[in-house]
Amino acid sequence: MYSTSDFRNGLKIEYGGEPYVIVYFQHVKPGKGGAFVRTKLKNLKTGAVLENTFRSGDKVDKPDLDEREMQFMYTMENAYHFMDTTTFEQIYLDEDHMGDAANYMIENLPVKILFFRGEPIGIDLPIFIHLQIVETEPGVRGDTVSGATKAAKLSSGAVVQVPLFLNVGDRIKVDTRTGTYIERS
């Protein structure tokens, strides 16, 4: 069990039978009355944000979370299929659980899947992935305004802004947290 003194941003707790992550917390010591902790909690299953206040010394449960290394295999009928790299067990996540991660799915991509009581609830992508540009407008010679960018469609289906000098067929490094171009690879 966690006490309110253990609270920090990113801590995963179980509250009301659901898994949450602490997005924000603040210890408050008013002049009158007991101290308390004001928090914002994000539900790991639904993504909903909940504001809650805990009295100082309150205890919350540790969630039954398990994170497994898995490999993306394929997409079929809006379901993303993954295989556990150690047991070869296969699972699937629907589009609701994927969120923005669906934009970066390519075959054999290693990912981490978060399980709550044996049920898959979320996905963590590698921070950087390398993708190929499959569609973009050609850069116009002389159009070299500092920092000018253009839209490029990648092999995973994602669309990112890239510098003008990149063309179809170039491989680039993309930050999956922000969906931004990093460098040519």
Region of poorest pLDDT, from 60-64, 109-113, 119-123, 138-142: 138-142
Instruction: Give pLDDT tens digits for 68-94.
Output: 999 999 998 888 999 998 999 999 888
pLDDT for res 159: 92
pLDDT for res 47: 81
Q: What architecture does CATH give domain 128-184?
A: Beta Barrel (2.40)
What ranges do the domains of the chain cover? 2-60, 65-124, 128-184
**Which residues are CB-neighbours of 148 under 8 A, at least 6 positions away?**
163, 164
pTM of the predicted protein model: 0.74
Instruction: Give pLDDT tens digits for 93-119.
Output: 888 778 788 889 988 999 999 899 888
Q: Could you tell me if 70 and 108 are in contact, meaning their C-beta atoms sit under 8 angstroms apart?
A: no
Domain 2-60 top-level CATH class: mainly beta
pLDDT > 60? residue 143: no
Candidate CATH numbers 3.10.20.30, 3.40.47.10, 3.30.1490.190, 2.40.50.140; the one for domain 65-124: 2.40.50.140
Q: 128-184: same fold as 65-124?
A: yes
pLDDT for res 141: 63
Tokens 């289906």 correspond to what residue?
Answer: 157
pLDDT for res 98: 81
pLDDT > 80? residue 12: yes
